[in-house]
Structure 1
Amino acid sequence: MGGWITDLFQNTPEIALFTALALGYAFGKVPFGPIRLGGVCGTLLVALVIGYLTGAQLDDGVKNLAFALFIFALGFSSGPQFFANLNRKGLRYLGFPIIEVVSVIGVVLVFTVLLGLDQGTAAGLMAGGATESAALGTASEAIGRLGLSADETTELQNNVATAYTVSYLCGLITIVLLTSQIAPRIMRFDLREESAKLWQKMSGGRERADGETPALPDLVGRAYRVEQSDGRSVDNIHASLNGHSTVEEVRRGDQTVKRPDPGFRVRTGDLLVLVGRRAALVGAESVIGPEQAEEPDTVLQSLDVVLTHRGTDHLPLESLGEVLGADLREAVFIRRLTRTEQEIPALPKTRLHTGDVLTVVGAPADVRAVEKKLGYPVVSQKTTDFVYLGLGLVLGILVGQIVIPIGGADLTLGTGGGALLSGLVFGYLRARRPTFGSLHPAAAGTMKDLGLATFIAAVGMSAGPSAWQLVQHYGVMLPVAAVLTTLIPASISLFVGRRLMRIEPPLLIGAVAGQQCSTPAISQVVSTAGNTVPVIAYTITYAISNILLPLTGPIIVALAGAVV
């Protein structure tokens, strides 16, 4: 590379960093058949090239800060879902992340012995084969605590990054093809057909294709002129309708009564504005009077609500009305359901988890009432509580410094493990008591993505100069080991889920993609399935694996050192 670019990148490493981010994320969007590498892998590849050609380096302080922010935000976002699934009802899917962790460690140790892998290469094989970027950081940090010389530590940490790059590419291709194409053929089921059947079973109706909306919306507003209900109370009118609805407004001459009391009595000539399920308002003319074409002031409001009510954990969506009560269960509509930043089908049989985000639509008064009953609104988190954030990071890093001597080894979580644990606890406490510690999901997502991308770029630039030597040393055996590191745990889970647990095929495929923490895999699975049913299981195993897999970084470093 030209001398002036080398000088620029070496003297101004921040330019090298953002160049790696820009080019890496652009490259990550390029499709290779059904596969896209994604921004993280793209950034690592570009950073390796920049490091190899220019020798540009980022300060270790920048790398450590970026990783601490990423791992804390990861724990904070996953905390509510992680703890929500650690119960008897979540045991159905808890086994998949455990199979992933145990199998990945076992496979990597076998290859460590067969190929004579050093601790860095073994850790990179594990992180890449499991397609878990966070394990790359915890493993590199664990190597830094081995007490080796600076040159030995740098060499092993560089090997982590290089082995991770090769293994991640092979692992990503393997898990995408296995879940979306190979597994359905081997296990003899049509993923699209099975997903359609499960959707119908959970919803009781036909699934809608992308871009389709119901011609007859479920939640509607109607205006009626009172002729038949003179002298009747609002509560009596509600009882006469086919289902529940709410009288949001009564106009009487120049006067307007908003959300009248149940005992309020209407008169002939009043204009009543009702909001509720369409089925409840069919036939309302025979109860109240003729429908009017007037445009009242009443509006519908949409609000994202984080679910914190304990009584809703693992409750089917169709039973949410038991918590809302008779006044609200037919007056609002759940338009969208999001879990761990993934939208899942808001179907009657879908089970809710603490930390889910419900998009609630209804009259403003009804939406506010639902918010108070179920949790707290996402829109209220307009600022970040840096007191809470800073305290969480300080406590996490301090916990990571604690060393517990066990035999001849020192056990410690390190900065990564400590920040992850702290993020889990602080995110869980925030979900339970939303009066403090606000961190908007978008802010947490940016902190997580930018922190990981910066850390990956720093690791890649550091490993660039020595990457080619490691690839030459192991040759084709490293990609083979990577494919098997991904394939074996996933295959075990497919067998256990299909033959022993009898899990529905779409949910099983989603669970396997989730245990691998592979967003590209679930994206391709959803495309093949034709609907988002597999995401229901994906979010459960993803939340647990996202916490367990990073903790395997220090474990594989210790075990690889013991068997070599």
Structure 2
Amino acid sequence: MIFISVDLEHDRTNSMPLLIDPVIALFICLGLGYLLGKLKVGPVQLGGICGTLFVALALGQFGVRISTDLKNTAFALFIYGLGFTAGPQFFANIRGGWRYGIFSIIEIVCVLMLLALSIVIFRLDIGTAVGLFAGSATESAVIGTASEAISRLALNNDTIVQLQANIATAYSLTYLFGLVSIVVFTTQIAPLILKVDLRKEAQELARKLGSADDDDDQIEGLPVFVGRAFRAGSVGGHTIGEFEKSRNWAVTIERVQRGDELLETSVEFMLKPDDIAFVRGRRNAVIAARDRFGDEVPVPQDTSFALTSRDVVLMRKEAFGRQIRQLRQMAGPEMQRGLFISGVRRMGQSIPALSGTILQQGDILTLYGPDQVVAQAAGELGKPLPPGDKTDFMFLGLGVVIGLLIGHLNFKVGALELTLGSGGGALIAGLVFGWLNMRSPSRGGLPAAAGEFAKDFGLAAFIAAIGLSAGPDAIKLVKQYGLILPVLGMLVSVLPAALSLFVGSKLMKIETPILLGVIAGQHCSTPTISSLVSRAGNSIPVIGYTVTYAISNVLLPLMGPVVVALAATLSY
């Protein structure tokens, strides 16, 4: 099948044969687009997708085109990958309650209302309205689902092509302003409104969740876990279990040297003042515990411990909604000793692995400790991630096909005919297949790196195709609306965030660092959460971000056909 074709309507293209080659043009868009996306304006980075669109709009002036088949294939790959990676957390958040999920609803309702007003006041056409929605909400996936919905309208082909081109142009005009607005609002304006020091608030919240004063996750070059050797000193006369319990099981005495003999330990082991205790744990906890011991002594070469790390998908129902410290209460004494959760990943984002961090179904926990204890804990908490990084293409192909078939189903509600479309169907299939993979990680593998590539390349190629086709019409739309679209982009971006700030701070009493992460997540804005983490000095805002991001990342793309229907109703 030939996916790529070229339109040679303009004579000037004859002077630039390499530039107008569709394959070369595609990768020029990707390469230069992501290079452009690295540019920063203050704390804001444009991003590769928006950079790709800008380059594509420029190259589109030369008449180069990418075929519809490639565009649709790229979008199906992207939207399925999006659903696959979001599936576990999406279903977990639905079952776990909508305390934070309500902010995703606020985002959608507010944006739709503002969009309706803009259509009526400024007489926006369908494509421009969709581009405003996608750009101000910084949700590129809407372009695909809405473009497909436009293609099903009872309009002639030229009008459909024009409207789809207007989506890309309006998106490019509003995305940058919407992105800058939400970053500035969350990192600077919101803390001023609430009269808080974001960094100080984030540090205090980290301490409440179990971080020690000297446990700054911005410190580089220092090991998270350490082993030290001390004379027992005043700890002598106590059992190891008594000592470790007094330190909230944050450290463990792995072995004890008594004279020339190296002894294995248990919770009942009684220490003597002259014993040399080999202590292991988080760096800050070991440092805090050293005052209980006598002098520190060098660790002999022949007393190293065999330790391992293993990633496990959290599946145990009793652990859902519990703090990390509470997991120890569910385990036996021997499993509590020497086993640590060194990392937590949720929606591809690392969140603080503090004792007060609340865990959710589908979280990927990194267990650290003795091999036998880690293996036992992995089996009780969930299912270990299988070794290797191969993609199960049978599972991938089946998922995409099922999604596309679902997208062709039609539902009638009175006189209104509804359909998810290919994008919506692939998204739903991705959600379900991602959840199935979480339930059985040994099947249907789509490694994190492969999933990110599918999303990034699929969306970038799709956006490049949209931009190239819209190129010749971009200038016309800019002349028609001038500064109206950038201003609307800022308003539609900030007003829902301002409402969420009021609801979260005044009504729901959510801590500021987490609330700002929630707002970044409802906006599906990765640059915003990156700026927040940098501003806060730790990753506490990510705790709120992952919840609303999982929900908005699914609901916003599904709004594409809704926006088209709304605009079609109000603009004609």
Normalised by the size of structure 1, how large is the TM-score?
A: 0.88
User: What SS is found at the alignment partner of 2:311?
Assistant: strand
In the TM superposition, 1:468-507 aligns within 5 A as 468-507=475-514
Correspondence for 2:82 among 57, 74, 95: 74
Correspondence for 1:7 among 7, 12, 17: 17
User: What SS is found at the alignment partner of 1:481?
Assistant: helix
Shift of 1:274: 8.0
Shifted more, 325-334 versus 122-131: the winner is: 325-334
- After superposition, the Cα gap between the structure-2 partners of 1:296 and 1:43, relative to the gap in structure 1 and judged at 3 Å, is same
Shift of 1:298: 3.3
Is 1:86 the counterpart of 2:86? The answer is no
* Matching residue's letter, 1:24: G
User: What SS is found at the alignment partner of 1:91?
Assistant: coil
| Number of residue equivalences | 549
Please tell me whether the aligned partners of residues 248 and 363 of structure 1 are also in contact (alpha carbons under 8 angstroms).
Answer: no
Shift of 1:303: 2.5
Correspondence for 2:150 among 129, 143, 147: 143
Please tell me whether the aligned partners of residues 175 and 489 of structure 2 are also in contact (alpha carbons under 8 angstroms).
Answer: yes
- After superposition, the Cα gap between the structure-2 partners of 1:505 and 1:246, relative to the gap in structure 1 and judged at 3 Å, is closer
In the TM superposition, 1:213-224 aligns within 5 A as 220=227
In the TM superposition, 1:73-152 aligns within 5 A as 73-87=81-95, 89-152=96-159
Please tell me whether the aligned partners of residues 497 and 503 of structure 1 are also in contact (alpha carbons under 8 angstroms).
Answer: yes
In the TM superposition, 1:30-429 aligns within 5 A as 30-52=39-61, 54-87=62-95, 89-203=96-210, 205-206=212-213, 208-209=215-216, 211-212=218-219, 220=227, 239=241, 242-243=244-245, 293-296=300-303, 298-378=305-385, 380-429=387-436
Shift of 1:4: 5.7
Shift of 1:41: 0.6
Correspondence for 2:28 among 12, 15, 19: 19
User: What SS is found at the alignment partner of 2:335?
Assistant: coil
Shift of 1:408: 2.9
Shifted more, 357-366 versus 423-432: the winner is: 357-366
Shift of 1:281: 9.4
User: What SS is found at the alignment partner of 1:430?
Assistant: helix
Shift of 1:547: 0.5
Q: Deviations over 1:74-93 (max 9, x none)?
A: 11101111111113x53220
Shift of 1:556: 0.5
* Matching residue's letter, 1:58: I
Shift of 1:240: 6.8
Shift of 1:488: 1.5
- After superposition, the Cα gap between the structure-2 partners of 1:68 and 1:530, relative to the gap in structure 1 and judged at 3 Å, is same
Is 1:434 the counterpart of 2:434? The answer is no
CA–CA distance in structure 2, aligned partners of residues 333 and 359 of structure 1? 8
Aligned-residue RMSD, C-alpha = 3.5
Q: What percent identity do the matched residue pairs reach?
A: 45
- After superposition, the Cα gap between the structure-2 partners of 1:224 and 1:382, relative to the gap in structure 1 and judged at 3 Å, is farther
CA–CA distance in structure 1, aligned partners of residues 106 and 147 of structure 2? 24
* Matching residue's letter, 1:445: E
CA–CA distance in structure 2, aligned partners of residues 298 and 118 of structure 1? 68
Please tell me whether the aligned partners of residues 393 and 419 of structure 1 are also in contact (alpha carbons under 8 angstroms).
Answer: yes
Shift of 1:348: 1.6
CA–CA distance in structure 2, aligned partners of residues 374 and 478 of structure 1? 50
Please tell me whether the aligned partners of residues 334 and 360 of structure 1 are also in contact (alpha carbons under 8 angstroms).
Answer: yes
Q: Deviations over 1:168-218 (max 9, x none)?
A: 111001101111111111232221222222122222522644552698965
- After superposition, the Cα gap between the structure-2 partners of 1:324 and 1:149, relative to the gap in structure 1 and judged at 3 Å, is farther
Shifted more, 193-202 versus 128-137: the winner is: 193-202
CA–CA distance in structure 1, aligned partners of residues 102 and 561 of structure 2? 22
User: What SS is found at the alignment partner of 1:350?
Assistant: coil
Shifted more, 453-462 versus 435-444: the winner is: 435-444
Shift of 1:220: 3.2
Is 1:28 the counterpart of 2:37? The answer is yes
Q: Deviations over 1:381-414 (max 9, x none)?
A: 4221111111111111000000112233320000
Gapped regions of structure 1 (runs ≥ 5): 230-235, 265-270
CA–CA distance in structure 2, aligned partners of residues 219 and 324 of structure 1? 23
User: What SS is found at the alignment partner of 1:394?
Assistant: helix
CA–CA distance in structure 2, aligned partners of residues 423 and 521 of structure 1? 25
